[in-house]
Amino acid sequence: MKPRASKEKIVLAAERLFNDNGVHSTGIDRIIKESGVAKKTFYHHFPSKNDLIAEYFRRKDLRWFERLEKFAAKGKTPQEKTLFLFDALKEWFQEPDFQGCPFIRGLSEFNKEGADPKIRQCLDEHFSRTTHLVEALLKEGCPKEYKKIVPQILSLICGATVLAHATGDVRLAKINKKVALELLEKHTRK
Amino acid sequence: MKPRASKEKIVLAAERLFNDNGVHSTGIDRIIKESGVAKKTFYHHFPSKNDLIAEYFRRKDLRWFERLEKFAAKGKTPQEKTLFLFDALKEWFQEPDFQGCPFIRGLSEFNKEGADPKIRQCLDEHFSRTTHLVEALLKEGCPKEYKKIVPQILSLICGATVLAHATGDVRLAKINKKVALELLEKHTRK
DNA sequence: TTAAAAGTAGACAGAACTGTCTCCTTTTGC
DNA sequence: GCAAAAGGAGACAGTTCTGTCTACTTTTAA
């Protein structure tokens, strides 16, 4: 086996297990067994489980923004770009292993006294970066009122994600896209 | 100590610890220590930890609907009742120990293969009962279009809750109440 | 009053978890 | 080619977790 492939195999196994069973419920031994590496190899790449968890969140964050930007690029105006974010959600919700947002799930497990600071930082940065992305789009699209609309759009994104996870209803993406459209039309017409 | 008080003390300690540290992260020993009962007493009332967890969710569910109904009762029309739900959220978000929705958090920990069925049932019932409450209000308020609006209102409730937890911004309740008002006005005028 | 129910205190078993360590082999990079 | 880095296999320590059990005391209710 290629030495450099070990780290990747660990992260891929962790990604699947964390997604299916939750982060806390997934033991190191299980990750090691399923990735097929030796325990020493694991601890060579990740000094502790928390380092793997942080890496997991960094990767999820990266892919989240790749997806959002891929869809936003389909729109011509900032308003269109914003609306295409909901198509990104639709694509996400339809994935067979969709288990809700890793960061919202992460809040449950790591947003507490005593949790590893580098993990909490991953969560904080993810939420603030998502906010900034929407903020940047709306600042361009409706510069006078973007401060009002940003939390509304973020609520629609969050709400769709949680409800799609709780109920399995993929249509939430489309439903909230329409609400977003109405909000944007209303605040752009003025 | 009064014998009948033991069960209550256990549940109260569990409620605080589950809220502060998460359900999985809270060990039986900690709950026993903080509630001040003997281990045998604990297992007398709850055959297993999962039974305590189910009881925890049943109580949270009960209080959630008590609160929603208390606020809904302040409105005269179904539309007003629906809008008052967001004032219930505001009250909730302002509590010093607000740590997000226990059921959304529970999804992260228990919505997986192998989780205790009675716990998953608590979660499922909570989401469907909340849906039915909103559905009942809107069915009365705008009978022709309630099917469209229910998921929108639920999204606004969910989104506000998650974002208030993630960012600490209590204003989400008020912001989304306004969006809900616009949605209801639009669909009632027709 | 008295038997049953509920409680206290805490040892203990058995499993699971994180992280360390040893011994040895393979791969990489200069 | 060869030293250093990376990897394999797995024993082991130390902790924590759930759940059981013994021995004894207090409260409740008929």
**pLDDT band with cut points at 50, 70 and 90 for residue B61:** very high
> Is the CB of A172 less than 8 angstroms away from the CB of B151?
yes
Question: In the structure, how far is the CA atom of residue B55 from the C1' atom of nucleotide C8, in angstroms?
Answer: 24
A31 and A42 Cβ atoms separated by less than 8 Å:
yes
pTM over 0.75: yes
Chain A CB contacts of B131 under 8 Å are 167
**pLDDT band with cut points at 50, 70 and 90 for residue A105:** very high
pLDDT at A114 exceeding the cut of 70? yes
Buried/exposed A18-56: b ≥16 CB within 10 Å, e otherwise: bbebbbbbbeeeebbebbebeeebbeeebeebbebbbbb
Q: Rounded distance, CA B187 to CA A160, Å?
A: 20
From A112, which residue of chain B is nearest by alpha-carbon distance? B21
Nearest-CB residue to A163 (from B24, B111, B154): B154
Q: For residue range A52-72, what is the model confidence (pLDDT) as tens digits? A: 999 999 999 999 999 999 999
Among the listed residues A134, A22, A140, the one whose alpha carbon sits nearest the alpha carbon of residue B167: A134
Q: Does A97 touch chain B (CB under 8 A)?
A: no
CA angle A54, A56, A61 (to 5 degrees): 95
> Is the CB of B154 less than 8 angstroms away from the CB of A160?
no
**pLDDT band with cut points at 50, 70 and 90 for residue A5:** confident
Question: In the structure, how far is the CA atom of residue B40 from the C1' atom of nucleotide D21, in angstroms?
Answer: 9
The CA distance from B113 to the nearest CA of chain A, in Å, is: 8
> Is the CB of B155 less than 8 angstroms away from the CB of A155?
yes
B34 touches strand C (CB under 7 A): no
Chain B CB contacts of A156 under 8 Å are 155-156, 159
pLDDT of residue A88: 98
Question: In the structure, how far is the CA atom of residue B35 from the C1' atom of nucleotide C13, in angstroms?
Answer: 25
pLDDT of residue A188: 81
Q: Rounded distance, CA A139 to CA A132, Å?
A: 10
pLDDT of residue B179: 97
> Is the CB of B179 less than 8 angstroms away from the CB of A183?
yes
Q: Rounded distance, CA A173 to CA B78, Å?
A: 26
Q: Rounded distance, CA A136 to CA A131, Å?
A: 9
